[in-house]
Structure 1
């Protein structure tokens, strides 16, 4: 294992800071800064969600080994991560509709609805990472594990799902704020499309 030479190298700071690249040409510095804020909010949310899914996989493996004590921390991290994603979504309201409209044409059909990770989040219990964990919890014989720990793990998973639902509602409200009754950035019907898609994924 090679030694890490610096903090910047350890966190990949150069690549990280260079990843937010506004695409709207000829905009004002205010519009460029607003677009970068928009990009960073999405990038950090995607990164956090990848961590949540990784923690859910880890928790499922630990539950499979009936190690519920060690399964609790990663589930709690996953729940905390969703709290951060929700907070980031709320902070998106700091982006004015006027600035969004200024760089929106440059998105050229790019839409958050294309995110594979957030599509999984909208699936609720059918999210494969959630489904795997819940299936392994159901396989636990209460005689093999501490009943209170089993209840705790279920409670944490329920709270994760509640936060996923909170994010779903907030996402639709943000779309309503930025898009209103207009067509969606990806050419969809806009808010109505998001509502129908979210409901279909949640029940299907």
Structure 2
């Protein structure tokens, strides 16, 4: 049954005094959401805003929780866009893929700036809540691992932190076994007649990516003739933007962790800052970066 139509307020004389109580009475029907879906209902705000359960008595733990919860929400959207973009590249629908990849890069910028908020937590403030974290760590984020795998940083050892949750392990394993964004991009280049070797278009997707001179030559052909290969050229630049933003996120992560905990080991058992610094050296789309020297 269609909802009842709300009648517009009667037109008033320009000289008539309008009292606040009259406005409230006339707009009352519009402000009554008892029979309609409200803003909070749609966003399930009761569940979201009730999901912060500090374990310590310390005031600053709320910051720590919300920082990581909001990051996980952004990562959920990032995976939503990444999966769709990979599918679009696989189906030669680059216009849609470009929009999605641009959005992923902007999401990454949001995650970069989120570290600015966490950086307001001082070492003594973090030390007050650290015992309550036990061995929980962002290192165990299944969504982050899926993002890494979707971007091509494959490592079988990274499946282990999720063995205790079969549902999460299945999710991460699916990402581990699937072609990455770069894998699908190279398959697209091959479909367009560029000389990408079979070793890079039909391989074991679980293995770490290995640089290829032939792949660089294929990208160089695109970059030397952007008018002819305009959409592939734009794809290369979208990938560059994405990795640029991802590098900034990793760097900001390192500096924030060092600022808050120094060189202590991470709660999840990693080396903390030393582990994160190693991740700075990971290059996701190596040929796209290397070709700039050869142009």
Normalising by the smaller structure, the TM-score range is: 0.7 to 0.9
Alignment partner of 1:125: what SS? coil
How far off its partner does 1:185 sit? 1.8
In the TM superposition, 1:42-121 aligns within 5 A as 42-121=68-147
More helix by share: 1
Q: Is the 8 A contact 2:119 2:256 kept in 1?
A: yes
Correspondence for 1:9 among 31, 41, 44:
41
Aligned CA distance change for structure 1 residues 4 and 77 (closer, same or farther; 3 Å): farther
Q: TM-score, normalised by structure 2?
A: 0.58
Structure 2: where are the runs of 5+ without partners? Answer: 1-34, 155-178, 195-227, 285-295
Greater Cα offset, 101-110 or 116-125: 116-125
Q: Is the 8 A contact 1:83 1:163 kept in 2?
A: yes
Q: Is the 8 A contact 1:79 1:160 kept in 2?
A: yes
Alignment partner of 1:94: what SS? coil
Aligned CA distance change for structure 1 residues 202 and 72 (closer, same or farther; 3 Å): closer
* Structure number with higher relative contact order (C-alpha < 8 Å, ≥ 6 residues apart): 1
Alignment partner of 2:41: what SS? helix
How far off its partner does 1:120 sit? 4.4
1:168 is the counterpart of 2:200: no
When the two chains are superposed, the root-mean-square deviation of aligned CA atoms in Å is 2.7
Aligned CA distance change for structure 1 residues 139 and 6 (closer, same or farther; 3 Å): farther
Counterpart-to-counterpart distance in 1, 2:152 and 2:238: 14
- Name the counterpart of 2:198: none
